[in-house]
Amino acid sequence: MKITIVDYKSGNISSVINSFKEVAKDKVNLEVTSDLNKIKSSDKIVLPGQGSFKSCVDALNKINGLADTLNDFTINKKKPLLGICVGLQMFADTGYEEIETKGLGWISGKVSKINNQNGKYKLPHIGWNQISIVKGSRIFKDIENNAHMYFVHSFEFIPKDKNVILATTDYSSNIVCAVEKENIFGTQFHPEKSDKIGLQIIDNFIKL
């Protein structure tokens, strides 16, 4: 099996690469690339993202043909894709970080700033927080409800269709922290920074 971590220069993704290498061992052919042909021939894709919604979308769009290739992979060929942090947020139609920016439009919705209730909650939301699993999923196999995951974000994805929500976390309000739509999976938290539980999620994705 061939899994590609898409490297479109969106911040430091070394921890994503290292954790996938640790879980995959020699069982999986792991590529880290933005080469369109290598992405097309993959069985699964990981779309990381660090920084702002706009900076990640801009970086993705700078690589000619990458957005179309990802679109073909996920929407037409229906192969599994895992988005992490801003990688998940980019599934949305629109993001409102910096300026209004068009997303990939795979899961209808928007990305808005977390309501910090006039400073009552610190932004960015950084650190460990419990997740409430609202729906069973193959990527949550052997993950207990209320497990702690590691977060770093100031913006949240608000999907139109609540049926795509797998888990939420309580920070100022119920924030969507994991989604699934057919072959598309996403986590707002960082599985690669969430210790053994995070590695379990990575293992579950690899074994899909």
Tell me what pLDDT residue 101 has.
97
Active site residue 190: yes
pLDDT for 144 beyond 90: yes
Active-site choice (97, 156, 180, 192)? 192
pLDDT at 26: 82
Complete DSSP assignment for the chain = -EEEEE-SS-S--HHHHHHHHHHHTTTSEEEEE--HHHHHT-SEEEE---S-HHHHHHHHHHSTTHHHHHHIIIIIS---EEEETHHHHTTSSEE-SSS-EE---SS-EEEEE---TTTTS-SSEEEEEEEEE-S--GGGTTPPTT-EEEEEESEEEEES-GGGEEEEEEESEEEEEEEEETTEEEESS-GGGSHHHHHHHHHHHHT-
Which residue among 85, 156, 177, 180 is the active-site one?
Answer: 85
State residue 27's pLDDT score.
85
Catalytic residue among 56, 125, 153, 190: 190
Domain count, the chain: 1
Q: What is the mean pLDDT of the chain?
A: 96
The pLDDT confidence band at residue 12, using thresholds 50, 70 and 90, is confident
Residue type, 59: A
Q: What is the CATH number of the domain that holds 68?
A: 3.40.50.880
Report field, pTM of the whole predicted structure over 0.85:
yes
Query: Exposed, middle or buried by CB within 10 Å (0-12, 13-18, 19+), for 27?
Result: exposed
Stretch 46-59: mean pLDDT, rounded? 96
How is 13-45 classified by DSSP, letter by letter? -HHHHHHHHHHHTTTSEEEEE--HHHHHT-SEE
61-74 confidence digits (pLDDT tens) = 999 999 999 999 99
Residue 183 has pLDDT above 90, yes or no: yes
- 192: annotated active-site residue: yes
Average pLDDT (156-172) is 97
Encode pLDDT of 188-202 as tens digits: 999 999 999 999 999
| Residue carrying the six token digits 């986590």 | 187
82-94 pLDDT per residue, tens: 999 999 999 999 9
Distance CA 194, CA 26 (A): 22
What's the rounded Cα separation, in Å, for the pair 98 and 145?
Answer: 34
In which domain, by residue range, is 38 found?
Answer: 2-206
Rounded Cα distance between 105 and 156, Å, is 15
Q: Is 182 a catalytic residue?
A: no
pLDDT in tens, 13-49: 999 999 999 999 888 999 999 999 999 999 999 999 9
Q: For 96-142, how does the pLDDT look when each residue is reduced to its tens digit (9 = 90+)?
A: 999 999 999 999 999 999 999 988 999 999 999 999 999 999 999 99
